[in-house]
Structure 1
């Protein structure tokens, strides 16, 4: 059995670090911070750790809401979605995740663009 991306990047601790860095970047962006006002950030971070772990092949099943339903009330534009993706990619790269694994994780995230933006 081949090693999962999840294990290659360092498991839960590494994913938690990436997610913390990701949200630091997102919440520092004046164009994005409004999406998170009044949100339970601890819960969002936990869901994001679960999501990244799942798409990286970790021992986790994502149990969060359907992506379309979870984001439909936010009216997220394409530029904002792209910015969020860029911040996640930067957080992965800065954490030392290799290019092949970054591309694999980001392909899963980019596949969610239509359900999130195209609501």
Structure 2
């Protein structure tokens, strides 16, 4: 991995600044990610990597991949300041029965980082998105 601690540091820092970054009127992050088409390309790569990763595959074995790409695209588009509206299940509800631990969450972030690198997302834009997504860890991690 090119920057192994980058994602974890961004998540830790974002947890300290919390949801203040979750919604903004600024769409510069949305544009830096290539707008909706760019976000969708990263999410397609991400889902492909998730189902191929031995650590992550068990969590996604019964998942509709196309729907997952669509939901993730909408969610990241909204988080990035784009015009999308995420209409999926709230994170806490979606992950309640999945027994996701911190190690699992960190592995998912590693896979996301690989996808961002593979799709050429600039380093600053990667960290900005991770900072906006980081507060979700409270709703996704369901076990120690």
Shared fold (TM-score greater than 0.5)? Answer: yes
Q: What's the Cα RMSD here?
A: 1.7
Partner of 2:112: 88
Partner of 2:48: 24
Mapped pair 1:117 → 2:141:
yes
Distance in 2, Cα, partners of 1:109 & 1:94: 19
Q: Unpaired segments of 5 or more residues in structure 1?
A: none
Partner of 2:19: none
Partner of 2:129: 105
Aligned residues: 119
Contact 1:85/1:110 (8 A) holds in 2: no
Give the one of 22, 32, 41 matched to 1:8.
Answer: 32
Distance in 2, Cα, partners of 1:92 & 1:118: 26
Moved over 4 A (4+): none
What is the deviation of 1:9?
Answer: 2.1
Aligned partner of residue 120 in structure 2, secondary structure: coil
Partner of 2:64: 40
Distance in 1, Cα, partners of 2:40 & 2:48: 12
What is the deviation of 1:33?
Answer: 0.8
Partner of 1:72: 96
Scaled by the length of structure 1, the TM-score of the pair is 0.90
